[in-house]
Amino acid sequence: MLSILGFIWMLIVGLIVLGFIAGSAMFLIWMERKVSAHIQSRFGPMRVGWHGVLQSIADAVKLLLKEDIRPAGVDKLVWWLAPFVVVVPSVMVFVVIPFGKSLIVKDLNVGILYIMAVSSVGVIGIFMAGWGSNNKYSLLGGMRSAAQIISYEIPLVLSMIVVAMQASSLSMQKIVAAQSGHWYILHPNLTLAFVVYLISATAEVNRTPFDIPEAESELVSGFHTEYSGMKFAMFFIGEYTNVFIISAIATTLFWGGWNGPILPPVVWFLIKTYGIVFILMWARWTFPRVRVDQLMGFAWKALTPISLVNLAITGWLLLR
């Protein structure tokens, strides 16, 4: 009986989360446009709805109505499948994100391992997009992206392992519960892990200063040059969903998850997540882009040694 109730609860929360993903992607697109506009002393979307809130819906409708152009020389299956392979892993990660005390689709006891495994599949989608487009620019974009994502997985994973060591568990809810008195950001070795995590996660989702795969001024549009209409919209939604995911994981691992006084846990979780999203957007509109070889050099020669040293220090502190 209990297992059937648990199963039904899982379905209900799953549906709520799916609805949340769609709404959140639209809200994030609006937020990005408004944040970037006010940084640049201008207004941003103002016409559709109050201060442009309905602009994302208007854009979604426009993209739905657009003609789906398939260029002649593309590799049909690979090109058609690429947007799905990019978006589906992002949505799958939402299974283990703890929105509240029991607002989680399924609290897997290998939560962090599941996240790392599933998010690594996304890079295949980008590479498929680059290869299948039969276009020199897209191919360059796809290859660069694959190299970038693979290099930055190692510091990302190492910083997440530090948190798992501190909490002695891989399950997301247990990590949040372990921070109920004392958020992890207050430990100095975990602050370093947070900084490394933030930099690697920005590189993982291809955002400036690491957005070489979409480097507009060099490769026109990189790996999604040949996509139009709804397929392009899927890449776009996938990017913003990824931004939300890495902020949500950062909140859970380092900033105490849904812990907080007075307000309900869901509200705290959303406040913290959108705060980190704001920091990511703020950094995007300030910094120039890092070059490909400098990016690789930074990952292998700076971030990886720092995270390994951090791992050793955390182990020593825990065993003491």
Partner 1 sequence: MDTTQTKDIYTEEFLINMGPQHPSTHGVLCLELKLDGEFVKECTPHIGYLHRSMEKIAENRTYTQFIPYTDRLDYVASMNNNLGYVMAVEKMLNLEVSQRAQYIRVIVAELNRIASHLIAVGTFAQDLGAFATPLFYCFREREKILDIFDQICGNRLTYNYMRIGGVQFDFPKGIDEKIKDFVKYMRPKVDDYDQLLTYNTIFLSRSKHIGVLPKELAISYSVTGPNLRASGVKWDLRKDEPYLVYDKFEFDIPVGKNGDSWDRYKIRIEEIRQSLRIVEQAIGALPEGDPTVKVGRIHKPSSSGIYFRTENPRGELGFYIVGDGSVCPYRLKIRSPSFSNLAVIPELVKGLKIADLVCVLGSFDILMGEIDR
Partner 2 sequence: MAIIKMINCAKNLIVGVWSLIKGLVVTLKYFFRPTVTLQYPTEKQPMNDRFRGLVGLHPEKCIVCYQCVKICPTACLAITNKQEDKKKTLETFKYNMELCCFCGFCQQVCPTGAITMTNIYEISVFDRKKFDINLLNVGKYDEWTHTLVK
Q: Taking CB within 5 to 8 Å according to partner kind, which of partner 2, partner 1, none is near residue 3? A: none
For residue 167, CA distances in Å to 63, 116, 311, 314, 318 come to 44, 17, 14, 11, 10
Among 11, 18, 69, 220, binds partner 1 (CB under 8 A): 220
DSSP 8-state code for residue 1: -
Residues 2-61 that bind partner 2 (CB under 8 A): 35, 37-43, 46
Tell me the two tokens of residue 147: 């190299």
Among 7, 12, 186, 218, binds partner 1 (CB under 8 A): 218
Q: How far is the CB of 311 from partner 2 (least distance, A)?
A: 19
| Binding-site member from 59, 211, 226, 239 for partner 1 (CB under 8 A) | 211
Residues in the chain, overall count: 320
Q: Which is nearer to partner 1, 204 or 211 (CB)?
A: 211
C-alpha angle 288/290/291, rounded to 5°? Answer: 130
- Site string (270-299) toward partner 1, x via CB under 8 A: --------------xxxxxxxxxxx-----
Note the helical H segments in the chain: 2-39, 55-65, 76-93, 111-119, 122-132, 136-167, 172-178, 188-204, 216-219, 230-254, 265-284, 292-297, 304-319
Q: Amino acid identity, residue 268?
A: W
Q: Which does 290 bind (CB under 5 to 8 A by kind): partner 1, partner 2, none?
A: partner 1
Q: Nearer Cβ to partner 1, position 137 or 258? A: 137
How many residues touch partner 2 under the rule CB under 8 A: the total is 15
**What is the contact surface with partner 1 in residues (CB under 8 A)?**
36, 39-42, 136, 208-209, 211, 215-218, 220, 284-294
